[in-house]
Amino acid sequence: MIDNVPKLDALVIAPHPDDAELGMGGAILKMLSEGWKVGVLDLTSGEPTPFGSPETRRQETAAATETLGLTWRHNAGLPNRSLEPTLAARELIAGIFRLTKPRWLFAPYWEDAHPDHTAATALVEAARFWAKLSKTEMPGEPYHPERIFYYYCVHLKLTPQPDFILDISDQWETKRKSIEAYQSQFVVGRSTDPPTFMDRMRDEAAYWGKAIGSRYGEPFASREPIALRSMRELF
């Protein structure tokens, strides 16, 4: 399985390397700055792509991981372009949940044009349930993560109605650098005429920031109600 697995507060599950950075790089940075133990589980290599290669993608992922300041990131080795929530994949991911014991899981938003993204969401939800089962051959002890939140990294032109938006004004520049680490995906072969891909990412973050009265934001969804212990937690 996996050696030296830490206990995590939050685990971000990404269909491909770069999805975590795109969808919630700011949140990862913010949680880390607040002392949270955060990990990223990439489900596939993300290759092949037009301008990438397995080695290039590994190098880019390592650079992005260093930029974010992550100390734990793992690739599950599931097949890119044909990711499916099979029983074998469910057992594999549930085993990782049992070993890392995250309080919160973050998965891709459930509506998307990319089959790998919707498959990843179904896989995470099923693996969360399986992780609590007893009398299995999965590693670790039965464990059930408290919550799943969903980040937006979608291939549809949606106008989301998120359940909450996180202020990432202080984290935007570092998030931008983590995305730009994936040169083969977002720089090479793309037009340099404005608005560039990164221009659009900045504008999108600014849109969500405006919605909450800040400079930049990241939206999140939840299938379950979100509890507040005090009305002071709202702003």
Q: Crossing angle of helices 19-33/54-68, nearest 10°? A: 20
Return the residue matching tokens 């990862």.
28
As given in the structure block, the two tokens for residue 228 are: 């507040």
State the Cα–Cα distance between residues 123 and 78, nearest whole angstrom.
11
pLDDT at residue number 187: 94
Neighbours of 225 (CB within 10 A): 7
Partner residues linked to 106 by β-bridges: 12, 149
* Structural domains of the chain in order of their starting residue, each with its CATH number: 10-223 (3.40.50.10320)
| Measured CA distances, 168 to 6, 28, 142, 163 (Å) | 26, 10, 34, 16
Contacts of 173 (CB under 8 A, 6+ apart): none
The dihedral sign for the CA sequence 118, 124, 129, 133: positive
As given in the structure block, the two tokens for residue 192 are: 């340099």
As given in the structure block, the two tokens for residue 223 are: 């299938």
pLDDT at residue number 136: 97
pLDDT at residue number 1: 58
Residue 167 parent element (H or E): strand 164-167
Tens digit of each residue's pLDDT, the chain (235 residues): 577 789 999 999 999 999 999 999 999 999 999 999 999 999 999 999 999 999 999 999 999 999 999 999 999 999 999 999 999 999 999 999 999 999 999 999 999 999 999 999 999 999 999 999 999 999 999 999 999 999 999 999 888 999 999 999 999 999 999 999 999 999 999 999 999 999 999 999 999 999 999 999 999 999 999 999 999 888 7
As given in the structure block, the two tokens for residue 13 are: 């599950």
State the Cα–Cα distance between residues 131 and 96, nearest whole angstrom.
9
Amino acid at 140: G
Partner residues linked to 104 by β-bridges: 10, 147
Contact 201, 22 (CB under 8 A): yes
C-alpha angle 6-170-201 in degrees, rounded to nearest 5: 90
| Measured CA distances, 5 to 80, 130, 135, 140 (Å) | 24, 19, 22, 11
